[in-house]
Each structure stands twice: as structure tokens, then as C-alpha cells.
């Protein structure tokens, strides 16, 4: 019987995101710089009745069926339906936030499935192409790089130097569908700015303008990650990050502090007793 396996699935930030084209099948081609964060979901794969459990304060709107990206990632890693293996997902990353939680869960579960089969959990080029069909960010997470430049539909990964920086994350009281933001994107907005998805996200959620202004007023430099709606401010000074977060809190804005990662996460082989 396999021993329980545990792994953290970190959130990400898009430091830049440009749409550079669109394929005949409708998928957009991207050129984006991505870094990992310390903020992470946690996944546990252990012997038991086959199925998916989702726990944590942010689990309410997370599907527990075949729509769940973690479950899809596990099936891809196992290359079959789980047999006497239970996957538990502890949600710490907000859903529909632009932080890549679902994609990170898929990649982490894929790695767990591979390890469960006693196979290497390092993705090949063919694996990255297959995983890109689950989601554009999944290959980046599966590639185990804390920082990378990503192209194509997410399958082209070029490692970049990873530097620890302090991050203020602004969490709006609403989500944004990635599909809806891309549907709102106009071709004349491709390759126009730091994040080509900012303009369509603002049209869908004009409240983002007010939040950007509040971050500036608190001393931060606001940017949008992915399709949003999470706004972030990046810097080298932890005291400044704390000051920005405190200023936002005084204005009634929910903000948290994290850091960029300088190494990927690893699978832990754990004792049965520690999972109960």
C-alpha cells in the first residue's frame, strides 16, 4: 500500500502578461512572466475510499466533482481513475482571483499521482503540452520553477532567476472569470501594456479603479495579476509592505502579505498517524 503524500500548491503572480495572438481553435497565445508565492493550498493523497474532499475557510464554492482541476490533475498523473486513494484539498488561495489556485492544485495533484505510481514527478515537454489543455498556468506549476517566462498556450517554460520580494495582496470582495475576461478582451488591446487583461477586467469590474487608487493612497504600486481581480504591490522592504497593508485595512480593504518563493515545493512522504 502506498504511503500518504502531501504537497503545497503555491499561488502565483503575473509580473507581466501580454496576449500575442490567437490560435485557430480560439486559444490565446501569451507571453507572461510568472513567480510563485508562499501563499499555498495543501493537498494530501492517502489510502482510502476513492474521492475528493475540499476543506478550509475558502472551500465553499469549490466543486468536488470532475470539474475540480485538482481532480483532473490527479487523473492525468495516475492515468486512470483512483483506486483506493483519497485526495484532500485544503483551500487557502481564493478562487477566481487571478492567483492560479486551481491550476496550481492541478499541477500538484498531477505530481502526487505520478509519485503514487512510483514515477518521477518532473514533467517532460510532452507532459507540459498535455497539461496546458487543463489550464494555461498548469504547465508552469508542473515545471517546478519558482520564476519563469511562459509562452504559447502555457507550454513553453523558460526559467528565470528567482528573487525573494515582499508582496501585498489586495483581495476584492468579488471574483472574475478568466473566460469572461478573455471574452471581453479586444484584439486592439493585445500587446498594449504591462497586463493586457487589465482593460477588460476593468470594464467588467469598474470597482477595480477605486481599489487601484486606494493602493496608491496607501503607498503601494498597484498591478493586476492574471485576469484578476487580485491586485498586488511588490517591493523589497517588509516594513513598507506592512505599512501599505495597514493603510488599506484602515480603509476597509482586505489585504494580506506574502513573499515570492525562491524554490519550488516538494512532495512529503508522511506517517499515517500525522494525517488523522
The Cβ-side half-sphere exposure at 15, using a 13 Å CA radius, reads: 18
Compute the radius of gyration of the chain from its Cα atoms: 18
Comparing CA positions, the residue from 159, 122, 125 lying closest to residue 34 is 159
Q: Which of 105, 121, 127, 137 is catalytic?
A: 137
Grid cell of 239 as nine digits: 516594513
Give, as one character, the DSSP assignment of residue 260: B
CA gap 27, 149 in Å, rounded: 18
The Cβ-side half-sphere exposure at 44, using a 13 Å CA radius, reads: 16
Other CB atoms within a 10 A radius of the CB of residue 199 amount to 17
Q: Which of 8, 12, 105, 121 is catalytic?
A: 12
Comparing CA positions, the residue from 269, 273, 10 lying closest to residue 116 is 269
Residue 199's beta-bridge partner residues?
none
Instruction: Judge whether 91 counts as a catalytic residue.
Output: no
Instruction: Judge whether 118 counts as a catalytic residue.
Output: no
- Is 10 strand, coil or helix? strand
Query: What angle is formed at CA 259 by the lines to CA 164 and CA 46, rounded to 5 degrees?
Result: 110
CA 80 to each of CA 73, 90, 102: distance values in angstroms, whole numbers, following the listed order: 11, 23, 20
CA gap 116, 124 in Å, rounded: 18
CA 64 to each of CA 51, 56, 152, 162, 214: distance values in angstroms, whole numbers, following the listed order: 9, 13, 30, 34, 36
* Strand ranges in 65-218 using DSSP code E only, listed in sequence order: 85-90, 147-152, 156-159, 166-170
**Hey, which residues are catalytic here?**
12, 137
Amino acid at each position: 500500500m502506498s504511503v500518504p503524500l502531501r504537497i503545497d500548491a503555491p499561488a502565483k503572480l503575473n509580473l507581466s502578461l501580454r496576449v500575442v495572438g490567437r490560435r485557430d481553435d480560439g486559444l490565446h497565445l501569451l507571453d507572461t512572466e510568472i513567480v510563485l508565492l508562499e501563499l499555498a493550498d495543501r493537498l494530501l493523497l492517502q489510502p482510502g475510499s476513492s474521492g475528493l474532499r475540499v476543506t478550509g475557510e475558502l472551500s465553499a464554492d469549490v466543486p468536488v466533482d470532475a470539474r475540480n482541476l485538482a481532480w483532473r490533475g490527479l487523473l492525468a498523473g495516475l492515468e486512470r481513475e483512483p483506486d483506493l486513494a483519497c485526495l484532500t484539498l485544503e483551500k487557502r488561495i481564493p478562487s477566481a482571483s487571478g492567483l492560479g489556485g486551481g491550476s496550481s492544485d492541478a499541477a500538484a495533484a498531477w505530481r502526487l499521482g505520478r509519485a503514487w505510481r512510483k514515477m518521477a514527478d518532473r514533467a517532460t515537454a510532452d507532459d507540459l503540452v498535455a497539461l496546458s489543455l487543463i489550464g494555461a498556468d498548469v504547465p508552469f506549476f508542473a515545471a517546478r520553477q519558482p520564476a519563469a517566462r511562459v509562452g504559447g498556450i502555457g507550454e513553453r517554460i523558460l526559467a528565470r532567476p528567482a528573487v525573494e520580494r515582499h508582496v501585498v495582496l489586495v483581495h476584492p470582495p468579488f471574483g472574475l472569470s478568466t473566460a469572461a475576461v478573455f471574452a471581453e478582451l479586444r484584439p486592439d488591446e493585445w500587446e498594449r501594456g504591462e497586463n493586457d487583461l487589465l482593460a477588460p477586467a476593468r470594464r467588467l469590474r469598474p470597482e477595480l479603479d477605486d481599489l487601484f487608487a486606494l493602493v496608491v493612497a496607501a503607498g503601494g504600486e498597484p498591478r493586476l495579476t492574471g485576469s484578476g481581480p487580485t491586485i498586488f504591490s511588490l517591493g523589497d522592504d517588509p516594513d513598507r509592505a506592512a505599512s501599505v497593508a495597514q493603510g488599506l485595512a484602515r480603509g476597509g480593504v482586505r489585504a494580506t502579505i506574502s513573499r515570492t518563493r525562491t524554490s519550488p515545493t516538494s512532495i512529503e512522504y508522511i506517517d499515517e498517524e500525522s494525517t488523522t
